[in-house]
Amino acid sequence: MDEVDIIARFLNNNINLHPAVFAELRDKNADEIERILAEAEKSQNRPDVLTLEYLRSLEAGLLDGNENKDGGLTRDEDGNEQALMVARRRRRCLAEEYESELEISWGRDITKKSYSEGNLSGFLDYFNYRYDKLAKILRDRDPLRDAATIEWAKSSAYTDVRMIGMVNDIRPTKKGHIIIELEDPTGVIPALVLNTERALIETSKELVKDEVIGIEGSTGKGRDLVIVKEIFFPDVPVKNGLKRSEVPLALALISDMHVGSTKFIEEDFLKFIKWLRGELGNHKQKELADRVKYLVVGGDLVDGVGIYPEQEGELRIKDIYEQYAKITEYLAMVPEHIEIIVLPGNHDAVRQAEPQPAIMEEYAGDLHEDERVHMTGNPSFIRLHGVEVLSYHGRSLDDMISTIPGTSYAKPDKAMLALVKKRHLAPVYGGKVPLAPESMDYMLIEEVPDIFHFGHVHSIGVSGYRGTLLVNSGTFQEQTSFQRKLNVVPTPSQVPIIDLQAQRTTIMRFDL
């Protein structure tokens, strides 16, 4: 085809050519030119003059694919799957239209800090810090404004007392009373909950060691004991009005994929990623995927090695580096416009003692390098368009569930609520959670977020409490042999998606 013919062919179809395009077309054969012409004709957002940039996109099959009648498939000889992915990249989704507004509260994150050596003065400082902060929160509550010290209560002429103390010990007596041993910086006093006080006995059962509470009661003649009339948890104030994002973006919460385990449900996890990519779901579900701008991964990304008894037999990938290589591969398939926040869990490659710094670069180097992946510690405090999210892997839920009646693995949000009321993510020292006594208590719930996100228990749970949202993000792992022995029944492949503007949670199921 000669030059005049080329120009004529395009002009006949009302397509003007930029000189640079013309120069390029001159070097192509007739078939190629026909194909480009056909593409340009079909294209619905063609500029008046066909530019070089536009020509490139036509060649790459990257423009307005979804508007084409054949469902967005490119017309070259590519396989179906690839054609679909190309079509996806052509479409700008809603989340892509908005700039991300993500702030990570590094001041509340142990990552990038120097960690404790766990010496004795560290331990004492740690508990004093915890006591001071929680006592201050308690003192803000009406009946505790004038709370006395334990030393004062033991020597005062007054017998009606209010105190704030750390729970040293809780023990039932033979007669069904409960003794709470309460300590503050000035002394120790036993607080007695009488067996006749049904409601108080129930409340006492929610107590765990090392939490800080307020007590109202009366001291007896000997002043060496207090009879409890009321127990106060630090708790959270009622929020008047939920904080909402001004933009219609959504947050996806996941955790506990356990990549590397034979029980990891790859098929469902890939469905989740496909849904995020806009390749799966009905119209409404795709619309929701369109708005996902943030993905928080709440720990246990991989199964690790040597974590639980007889794990070896349930590992598909036995090398920890390869486990991280695999999860990195999956996360790379998450659309580029989604910011990914990653914190560690107890199966991840970093120290077990909490607070945990970010997963080590040695194992997850590619994740650390990826600009849209943010490697934080556990716990992690972030702000998305003004909405505050506190993410914690949730290992202390094991302590709550094993001690507090009415909590269970099936209802993780109930156990989360117990921690929220205590304003502490891991109150029990010497329980199932190894705690590192840092110079400050990173596990304190000092500021109350809008959303609490936990994982670890492998079952999904969502509930509201005083204007905050409590969410447990479940798992992508089927029941392991170890969990069967512990009677933990997971609810895999369900993902809570939170509309940050409407503050509405949708549970997306990828197990169906």
228 part of the interface to ligand D5M, by CB under 6 A: no
Interaction between residue 457 and ligand D5M (CB under 6 A): yes
213: enclosing H helix or E strand: strand 212-219
Interface region with ligand D5M, contact rule CB under 6 A, candidates 10-18, 41-49, 441-449, 481-489? 481-489
Under the binding rule (CB under 5 A), the answer on residue 437 touching Zn ion is: no
**DSSP per-residue letters across 292-318:** EEEEEE-S--B--SS-STT-GGGBS--
Start-to-end Cα distance in the chain: 55
Return the residue of 183, 210, 211, 256 that touches Fe ion, per CB under 5 A. Answer: 256
Q: Which residues pair with 315 in a beta bridge?
A: 261
Choice between 483 and 493, CB closer to ligand D5M: 483
Tokens of 103: 């702030």
CB closer to Zn ion out of 134 and 315: 315
> 16 to 75, contacts with ligand D5M by CB under 6 A?
none
Three-point CA angle 144, 150, 155, nearest 5°: 115
Q: Say how far apart CA 507 and CA 460 lie, in whole Å.
A: 9
Size of the site for Zn ion (CB under 5 A): 4
Q: Which stretch binds Fe ion (CB under 5 A): 7-15, 77-85, 168-176, 250-258?
A: 250-258
Per-residue mark of binding to ligand D5M, 242-271 (x: CB under 6 A): --------------x---------------
List strand residue ranges (DSSP E) for 346-454, in order. Answer: 373-375, 380-384, 387-392, 451-454
Out of 219, 328, 391, 483, name the contact with ligand D5M by CB under 6 A: 483
394 with 456: CB under 8 angstroms?
Answer: yes
**Shortest distance in whole angstroms from residue 300 CB to Zn ion:** 4
3-class DSSP string for 461-511:
EEEEECCEEEEEECECECCCHHHHHHCCCCCECEEEEEECCCCEEEEEECC
Of the candidates 215, 130, 172, the one whose C-alpha atom is nearest the C-alpha of residue 428 is 130
Q: Is there binding between residue 131 and ligand D5M (CB under 6 A)?
A: no
C-beta of 241 vs 309, nearer to ligand D5M: 309
354 belongs to the binding site for Zn ion (CB under 5 A) = no
CB nearer to ligand D5M: pick between 156 and 352: 352
Q: Does 206 bind Fe ion (CB under 5 A)?
A: no
Task: Give min distance, CB of 153 to Fe ion, in A.
Answer: 44
452: contact with ligand D5M by CB under 6 A: no
Binding Zn ion (rule: CB under 5 A), the pick from 197, 290, 300, 303 is 300
Scan residues 311-350 and list those touching ligand D5M (CB under 6 A): 346-347
Residues between 142 and 161 with contacts to ligand D5M, criterion CB under 6 A: none
Query: CB-wise, 37 or 460, nearer to Fe ion?
Result: 460
Cα–Cα distances (Å) from 323 to 38, 253, 330, 336, 457, in that order, read 46, 21, 11, 22, 21
Q: Which is closer to ligand D5M, CB of 90 or CB of 456?
A: 456
Q: CB neighbours of 406 closer than 8 A, spacing ≥ 6?
A: 414
How many Cα atoms sit within 13 Å of 187 on the Cβ side? 15
* Residue 289 falls in which region: left (phi positive, over 0), alpha (psi -120 to 50) or beta: alpha
Radius of gyration, alpha carbons of the chain = 29
User: Interface with Zn ion by CB under 5 A: which range of 70-78, 135-143, 269-277, 299-307?
Assistant: 299-307
Residue of closest CB approach to ligand D5M: 457
488 binds ligand D5M (CB under 6 A): yes
Is residue 345 involved in binding Zn ion (CB under 5 A)? Answer: yes
476 binds ligand D5M (CB under 6 A): no
Q: Which is nearer to Fe ion, 144 or 315 (CB)?
A: 315
- Is the Cβ of residue 116 or residue 473 nearer to ligand D5M in the bound state? 473
Asked if 486 touches ligand D5M (CB under 6 A), the answer is yes
Bridge-based pairing of strands 339-342 and 380-384 is unpaired
CB 202 within 8 A of CB 402: no
> What is the side-by-side strand order in the sheet with 373-375?
373-375, 339-342, 292-297, 250-254, 494-499, 504-509
CB of 43 to Fe ion, least distance (A): 48
Structure tokens at 105: 């509260």
Site for ligand D5M in 159-198 (CB under 6 A): none
Residues that bind ligand D5M (CB under 6 A): 256, 300, 308, 346-347, 398, 409, 456-458, 483, 486, 488
Residues that bind Zn ion (CB under 5 A): 300, 345-346, 456
